[in-house]
Amino acid sequence: MTTTLITGASSGLGAEMARQLAAAGNDLALCARRTENLEALRAEIVAANPDRRVVIAALDVTDDAAVFEVFRGFAAELGGLDRVVVNAGLGKGAPIGKGRYDANRETAMTNFIGALAQCEAAMELFREARRGHLVVISSISALRGMPKSMTVYAATKAGVAALAEGIRSEMLGRPDLDITVSTIYPGYIRSEMNERVEQKTRWMVDTETGVRSMVEAIEKGVDNARVPGWPWKPLGTAIRHLPLRAVRKLT
């Protein structure tokens, strides 16, 4: 039995990961700012999977002390954590220099500094247990710099991918620690973050389909995965290597 903690689990990709991981046999520790959503999600999951343990807690990942407190509390309540999914994030943003530093800073603090706190708290528990699986949710947008309102968001997702790779590199040199680090790069998956976007986006898939590909990669414990595999495995390679003008047309 695997015990998985998911941050940002009250809606969108986090909530759907919780549903699918519970169906795959995971006990769950779910946290987010909106506890009423978590309570409804827990009731839904337990109704569908009566044997699953699902515990919840309120958490704002920009509150450093709370991140450590909630992670340790979950570990104590559940007898340890096997996996932590660093998922909580914001999609706010504006073109640089357009007077919305507040929105860009909020995105940076949540998506990178918040992720750093989560990685620190998770790795403390995993080092103590000498085992664990750290999963960091990045984005296809992390592969290159993105324009306009995506600039800071993409930069934060590139940052968390580099953070995960650095931790993975250290773990490769520690045969005494059985700690796996996975970086997931979702492509265009419908979620609460983008549900208000009215224009049709090429290659967008529904939440359930997109998250299924994420969960498959997570359960396999891969180092890196661009998901869904089609079109993002080949398209991600193109995004990484094409001239920037061509990348703008693709994305």
**Structure tokens, 79:** 């007898």
Which member of 101, 153, 185, 188 is catalytic?
153
How open is the CA angle 91-94-98, to the nearest 5 degrees? 165
Ramachandran angles phi, psi of 33, nearest 5° = -75, -35
Please give the angle made by the CA atoms of 106, 182 and 148, to the nearest 5 degrees: 35
Instruction: Tell me how far CA of residue 248 lies from CA of 25, 75, 194, 251, in angstroms.
Output: 41, 43, 19, 5
What are 30's strand-pairing partners? 6, 56
Residue 195: partners with Cβ closer than 8 Å, 6 or more residues away: none
CA-nearest of 130, 193, 125, 137 to 163 is: 137
Cα torsion angle, 236, 241, 244, 247, sign: negative
Q: Is 185 a catalytic residue?
A: no
* Alpha-carbon dihedral angle through residues 140, 143, 147, 153, given to the nearest 10 degrees: 60
Alpha carbon of residue 96 to chain centroid:
25
Residues with catalytic roles: 153
